[in-house]
Amino acid sequence: MPRTVVFETTGGPEVLSVRECPLPEPGPGELRLRVAAIGLNRAEALFRAGTYLEHPALPATLGYEASGTVEALGDGVTGFAVGDQVDTVPAFDLNDYGVHGTHVLVPARAAVHRPRGLTPLQGAAVWMSYLTAYGALAEDGHLRPGDHVLLTAAASGVGLAAIRTARRLGAIPIATTRTRAKVPRLLQAGAADVVVTGEQDLLARVGAATGGHGVRTVFDPVAGPGVLTLARTLAPGGRLIVYGRLDPRDTPLPGQDTFAPVTSRFYSMHEVTRDDERLRRARAFVTAGLADGTFTPAVDRVFEGLDTIAEAHRYLEAGTQTGKIVITVDDSTDDTAHGTPADDTAHGTPAGGGAAG
């Protein structure tokens, strides 16, 4: 019997439950997938809590990222066949679709054939992170070879993807973390320097790393008043990009008191995923990086079975992971046991950052 994750009220992980449901039939332009693995994202925790960009229409389902097998095609779908191995990309509204289930519907434009050599676990850990990093750092060409980029809270899945994306562009990533234990993994992922906030002076460390010139770009998921300090690391002509809101306090506009020659903006990966041409370019960029080994899926921990969804959300919100959290859904993903770290690999080689994303 098909099963899906649902919640009837907003709140903490305890509001999540798994229920049996009818087998969904795809409509025009849709695919039905049998899901093998799902990836968790901070956006889904915010949606569950009622604090995301869009408010859930209750009762609600959940989930942007899944890997699985095409079971059925709706009218008008081309480019896919029953039996294809695919991953989903976050190109839909969570009030319209949710992929945290055993059998789910997705719009065909939100599915991509799984890149060669990736397992279902890895396929569930790629797209949200790398598409987010691509859209912010690569899509408009602002970040150039030789530029420094400051990546805050860099041990997340997006943070690790941003380190590797910056390296692929020829830029020089400087990472921050609150936890000294994460420093070796960030360096392994390609960070040129790591600042342990709370222990080290951010401005002094960035100044030393950039020869006093400052960074071209700051990529920040935290927001709040701390952006004023981050803006002081920018070189003239630099850009502050805020892509999350871990700090719920108001976010001021940097430079408004000094008219500093810098710009700031809020960014969402939906700028890429809901535009067909931008999404085409993003897929090409990520697929090329996976093919040559520049990009690797980074999995921190794997939970086994949909019934672990609340436990996995609690782990996500604890903020101790370095990389992506994945839940297996069916027997095809027996790579690792419930609640254990995953030494995930791509193309037969270790997953670059040692940890994950």
Q: What is the SS3 assignment for 306?
A: helix
Residues 159, 87 share a domain: no
- The CATH number of the domain holding residue 145 is 3.40.50.720
Q: Which of 226, 253, 268 is the last residue of a domain?
A: 268
pLDDT for res 258: 62
Residues 334, 253 share a domain: no
Q: Which of 249, 268, 287 is the last residue of a domain?
A: 268
In whole angstroms, give the CA distance from residue 136 to residue 38. 24
Q: Which of 268, 288, 305 is the last residue of a domain?
A: 268
pLDDT for res 246: 87
Burial of 130 (0-12, 13-18, 19+ CB in 10 A): buried
Specify the DSSP class assigned to residue 22: P
Residues 204, 237 share a domain: yes
Residues 146, 55 share a domain: no
Query: pTM value?
Result: 0.89
Residue 149: domain span: 133-268
Domain count, the chain: 2
Cβ–Cβ under 8 Å, residues 16 and 5: yes
Cβ–Cβ under 8 Å, residues 279 and 257: no
- In terms of phi and psi (left: phi > 0; alpha: psi -120 to 50; beta: otherwise), the region of 39 is beta
- The CATH number of the domain holding residue 61 is 3.90.180.10
Residues 137, 121 share a domain: no
Residue 283 lies in a domain: no
Residues 96, 198 share a domain: no
In whole angstroms, give the CA distance from residue 307 to residue 296. 28
In whole angstroms, give the CA distance from residue 143 to residue 149. 8
Q: What is the CA radius of gyration of the chain?
A: 20
- In terms of phi and psi (left: phi > 0; alpha: psi -120 to 50; beta: otherwise), the region of 347 is left
* Averages of pLDDT over each 10 residues, the chain, 357 residues: 97 98 97 98 95 93 97 98 98 97 98 95 96 96 96 95 98 96 95 96 97 97 94 93 91 72 90 96 96 94 97 94 92 41 34 29
pLDDT for res 257: 62
pLDDT for res 56: 97
